[in-house]
Amino acid sequence: MLRSHRGWDPGALRCARRLAADLGAPLLWTDLTRLLVDANRSATNPAVFSPWTRGLAAEERARLLAMHHAPHRTRVEHAVREVVGRRRAALHLAIHSFTPRPHGRERYFDVGFLYDPARPGERRLAEAWKDALAQLQPELRVRRNAPYRGRDDGLTRSLRARFGPDRYLGLELELNQAWCRRPGPGADRAVDALRESLQVVLGLGKGPWHPE
């Protein structure tokens, strides 16, 4: 299970490192398998523990949360607060990857943008980024709020509850493991297109995506 998509997100960290380096952005990550505890789930969500850890004693589960769950989430929240404290809007990209064939059913797209449709800034940013990416690399198949919903329980949803829509934009970037887990020219081109298209959108200043 550790080698499967249930244990980790193949390719996500490598792509995130490339994006962060090219954008000059800080990168905060956890390399702990979610089979132990899922740092992207709220502590009160039963899915924060896997079938292998759900049956542990209460004190053991509390120890896992304190040692491996809370520190990562606290680091990310502090990074957002630092930006917001400078009276700027923080853009938080959470990078994940998804399996192309869950339960034998094909997912026919390459990139998913997850966001909260009720937050105008997030919706406009996702729309503008999708359009800009289509101009740069039209063969990349992009869907919004797929393969999951952007309002599902996760770190971005938790941070939305702490920061208003004019100060925090949280997007989850879902990459298809069919391409992102294999280093090579194809994956590099896709990541470069994601970065370049995002730079185009952010370069618009008070463009259609702006939280205000």
Name the 3-class secondary structure at 71: helix
What is the rounded distance in angstroms from the CA atom of residue 211 to the CA atom of residue 42? 26
Q: What are phi and psi of 202, to 5 degrees?
A: -65, -25
Task: Compute the chain's Rg from CA coordinates.
Answer: 17
3-state secondary structure of 99: coil
pLDDT truncated to tens, each residue of the chain (212 aa)?
A: 888 888 999 999 999 999 999 999 999 999 899 999 999 999 999 999 999 999 999 999 999 999 999 999 999 999 999 999 998 999 999 999 999 988 778 899 999 999 999 999 999 999 999 999 999 999 999 999 999 999 999 999 999 999 999 999 999 999 999 999 988 999 999 999 999 999 999 985 444 444 54
Give residue 52's identity as a one-letter amino acid code.
Answer: W
In angstroms, rounded to a whole number, what is the distance separating the alpha carbons of residues 84 and 167?
6
Q: Going edge to edge, which strands form the sheet with 168-176?
A: 90-98, 168-176, 111-114, 142-144
Q: What is the pLDDT of residue 2?
A: 87
Domain boundaries along the sequence of the chain: 12-202
The third-level CATH classification (topology) of the domain covering 12-202 is Aminopeptidase (3.40.630)
Angle at alpha carbon of residue 202, lines to 82 and 144, rounded to 5°? 95
> 207 to each of 95, 131, 202, 212, how far by Cα in Å?
24, 13, 8, 10
